[in-house]
Amino acid sequence: MSVGEEDVNIVIASSAAGGDEGNGSGTQPSVPTRVTAAVPTVVSASTTHTSGPTRTSAPSTRNPGPTTPATSRASGTPTTHTSGLISNASHTPGPTGTSGATVNPTGPTSSPSNIPRPTGTTANATNPTVPTRMPAPATPTQNPPRTPIPTTHNPGPVRTPANAPRVPGPSRTPGPARGTPRPVPKPDTGGHTVNYKKEKAFPIRKYCVPTVAVLLVLASIAVISILIKVVLDNYYYFCVKSFKFIPLDQWCDGKSDCAGDEDESRCVQPFDVTTNSMVRFMEAGSLLQLYASSRTSWSFICSDNWDASKAKAVCAQVGYYSEPVSSSVSISDLSTSSAILYSTVQVLSDQRIQVNPLLGGSCTSGRVVSLSCAACGIGHKQQRIIGGTNSDILRYPWQVSLQYMGQHICGGSILNSRWILSAAHCFDKGQKQIDRWRVQYGVTTLTYLFGSYVDKIFLHSRYVANQKPNDIALVKLKSDIAVSTSVQPVCLPGYDNQIVAGSVLWVTGWGHTVEGGSALSSQLQEVTINLISSATCNQEYGGQILQSMLCAGKLEGGSDTCQGDSGGPLVSLGQNSRWDQVGVVSWGDGCGRPNKVGVYTNVQTFLNWIYEVMKQVA
């Protein structure tokens, strides 16, 4: 070297196993060796590289191809390199200032075809079969050597085939039911966190919602059914046997429109009495008299051999079936004449009675029977105010309300546990359908709930609609009335009952308090009036008053019955402090007008009809 030399760093990778480099069959860990070669600046001189200190370089997986001799920038003279991969080359400029050759770090560079291959000692002595590869001239740089990037690619995520079975994920704990409030943690004085265990929510949607829905559907069906029934009941009657509807005005019109007279069987009907009762009560309705057909006269019953069975048999003859109460009265206390017939009673096998007059007309015991077939006429006697005032059912526990299709029509009175006494005109105006009537009793304030059902309704056979005579009716209930302090029967008067003009009487009802009024009284009303003689009353009404009628009221007006009071009882406080019904509210001219008193049916004249109906329709 005549002028100067350059240091060239050449990395030579030697095969660890001595395998063939050309075929790349063996693994070649790189053992980089730093070679410092003197590069002559003289054109004609050739430079031999001398190995210097080694430097570790990153391995490369690239298989080197055959080497190509590098050409000197100055003269193009080939420079021999030891075979291997070039990691980095650094040229030190010589004294002449010639720049160093640039070495391609990424791979071999092509060389001109006219450059001869090196032979002899310049070839790789370690593996002579592998041709020597000449590195390209390296570009001088001041940057530190780079670590080669591995060419091996990191595989991405494995894609699951579309038809592969789906792997179930981890199980998930279900949360609380929707709508369940979260538990509010209570404060912990110790500073610790309080954990609450969630309670299992009640399955509202599972049970309550379907139940409510079913109930609503059933309620809707019930309401619709009731509405349909109400509409049909207001306009039609259904014939069960013939399975058809008929107009309501053809029901109980006296003509058969259904099979088997079905539409006429449950109607108000007249009752004709052709026989006389063989039982009657005298002197305040307590002294018993029986008709002796063999003597064709009435007789008192001697108390000799009298017992409870005979008392029941006698009361059954007048339609009373409750426990009777009997006693005896001394003959000397009787107000009748001395010519009195006495008899005894015999009960036959069919519970009929036979009257046997006593021979000689004398009673050994000297006492006669006093009989009460029902505990009646028991009211709370209190001071009453004339002119109409609020009352209480406890004062008049026999007062009832007759209601048609839920509306108060008339009043009435309790005779016994099955029978109600009222007026015949209450069942005019087409209100003849028995099944539509109810009887309300035991109440002071008018109500329409829980009324008793009606079994039969009988009018006097001689009553003519819209006319005044024989205005009396009997209503039979389907079930017995339970007697209490607010439910008591009223007593019927005796056959010899005599009331004189001016006698004080009482009348009760829920009728209108003002003539022409549109509303009934919700509270039971009472008014105190006086008996008016038939002669005076006929002067007011032009002779319309018959023996079967009574007149009562105030001639000056102001105290009277009115619409809604019809059928109610007119009572008097008789002997033995018991209340007797002497009249039934019937008719009148207006309400409380001067000289126009009320007209009542005289109950005493219809005692035989009442007793016979109750007896025959047991």
Beta bridge partners of 298: 291
Find the catalytic residue in 263, 471, 565, 580: 471
Beta bridge partners of 243: none
471 in catalytic set: yes
Q: Among residues 501, 519, 499, 500, which one has the least CA distance to residue 510?
A: 519
Q: What is the DSSP string of 286-352?
A: HEEEEEETTTTEEEEEB-TT--HHHHHHHHHTTT--S--EEEEEEGGG--S-S---EEEEEE-TTS-
- E strand residue ranges, 57-206: 70-71, 78-79
Find the catalytic residue in 566, 572, 580, 586: 566
Query: How far is Cα 46 from Cα 38, in angstroms, rounded to an integer?
Result: 9
254 Rama sector, left if φ>0, alpha if ψ -120 to 50, beta otherwise = left
CB 30 within 8 A of CB 60: yes
* Nearest-10 Cα torsion for 159, 161, 164, 170: 20
* Nearest-10 Cα torsion for 305, 371, 414, 471: 110
Query: How far is Cα 246 from Cα 234, in angstroms, rounded to an integer?
Result: 12
Find the catalytic residue in 81, 408, 425, 460: 425
428 in catalytic set: no
**Which tokens sit at 18?**
């001595």
Question: Would strands 437-441 and 399-404 be described as parallel, antiparallel, or unpaired?
Answer: antiparallel
Q: Among residues 527, 281, 579, which one has the least CA distance to residue 413?
A: 579
**Which tokens sit at 49?**
């590289």
Catalytic residues: 425, 471, 566
